[in-house]
Amino acid sequence: MKKLILYIIVSLTMVSLVQAQSNSPDLSDSLLYQKRTRAMLGFQLGSAAAVSSGLYFLWYSKYDLGGFHWINDNPGWLQMDKVGHTVTNYQVIHKCYSWNRWAGMDKKKALIWSASVAYGFQSLIEFFDGLSVAWGASAGDIAANTLGLASFVSQELAWDEQRILWKFSFRPNNYSQYGEEVQTRAEKLYGTTIYESLLKDYNYQTYWLSANISSFAPNSEWLPKWLNVAVGYSGEGLLGANWNVWYGENECFQDFETIPRYRQYYLSLDIDWTRMKSKRKWFKTVAPFLNILKIPFPAIEYSRIDGLKGKAFYF
């Protein structure tokens, strides 16, 4: 859940820089370079400190804390949480890098600084987890964070651009079809509002790798430069980390293992909004925001429950 909180916070903090990013820096003005660099460094460090403190007091302080410890939570939630860590860290470093380049940093310095902020930010959250009695630091989370960072840095070093984007989408679930007990369980785990579901519900979320076709086939002039192909991953039937059993009201044991827990894989098309040509400055500013979400498109889905099937509209 915390990874998605960070994901949304990072997206929202981008709003404060929308107007500033609409103009390119005049690097011949050394004073402007220094001011922008200092502003970006201060902004990123301040944001990291503020969000970390906020998460601690609003979330971790409400639960019992103890000695730092590790847990192995890799089997849980069909690894949806691990993919979420990867996507979050990718988005954090992506935005930090864009800001730092806007400020006038050279490529190497911007990569080093952005990677340090993103990885340090996520590592601090992992440290808080390690102090929480109910959870623990996870080597799997750290590995997922590293993958998100590596996927961004490697593309910048190899291609000087992001040809493959990590994206996110979501769709509602109808738990009432399984009965009142499951509905109550879902509300307890995931909340009752769309905002809570967006943050907490792994059945609600789909993660995507969206690759730009023309960047890998530069001689295919007939292809739209903005057209991407995307592969997605999601989970279904998750009413607990590892099993669909729990204790309900009056400590009554609830066993819903008959509800299958399974993975879903998708193939779809997508758009890289930053590759669309436009003379409008507002569009160039908004495009990176749009690239956070996978847009609705027809898709092919595969799962062990339903096999292969088409979806006319999937988000």
**pLDDT per residue as tens digits for the range 207-261:** 999 999 999 988 888 899 999 999 999 999 999 999 999 987 777 888 999 999 9
Q: How confident is the model at residue 31 (pLDDT cuts 50, 70, 90)?
A: low
Q: What is the pLDDT of residue 105?
A: 86
Is the pLDDT assigned to residue 155 strictly greater than 90? yes
pTM of the entire predicted model: 0.88
Task: Give me 83's structure tokens.
Answer: 């993919």
Is the pLDDT higher at 44 or at 128? 128
* Short-list 217, 28, 209, CA closest to 104: 28
pLDDT digit string, tens, across residues 269-286? 999 999 998 888 888 878
